[in-house]
Structure 1
Amino acid sequence: PMESIENQECWKLGVASHSFFVETVQACVDARFFKSTDTETIAYTLWCHAHGLVSLFIRERMRMYPEEKREALAKKSFDMIVKMAECL
């Protein structure tokens, strides 16, 4: 089960990291890297995908793939989601 963080002080680093990420996505939108101008949805989609990949690794849910291929597969998957976002 997931644990929630009740103390808002603990969230400061997470909020700062997320803000930096959203600002980076906004810079990509401004540079017309993405067709869409919906920065919030693009950032959320990429953020969710990245967290999903990290969770799979942390919880060792990648065992069905050969160990020597796992990192490359995760990178290719993230590259694919970025390419999909470029088309939106």
Structure 2
Amino acid sequence: MEDNKEKEIHRAVNPGDVISEEPQTVEEKAQQLAVDSPDITGDHIQVPTYFVVKEPNGEEKALHHVKDAEEISDVIRQARVDEEGNRVW
């Protein structure tokens, strides 16, 4: 019975907020959208489920937009702009 309750809870949330239990590659995660719909102004909004960042060792890591929000904020704070106005991460 508890399994059904848990599944019901997941149906109530945004599907992009649910983290898949199936193993996925960084590339597969990078293609998922949490939001893909028009907003109240009519603009079409797309929000990725995962934000892919490069670790200092060069390895890519997929950060979930809800679960890893604090780490995503930390990465954004580390962004710098070079002399030509290009953002450097």
- In the superposition, the TM-score normalised over structure 2's length comes to 0.26
- More strand as a share of residues: 2
Higher relative contact order (CA 8 A, sep 6+): 1
Larger Rg: 2
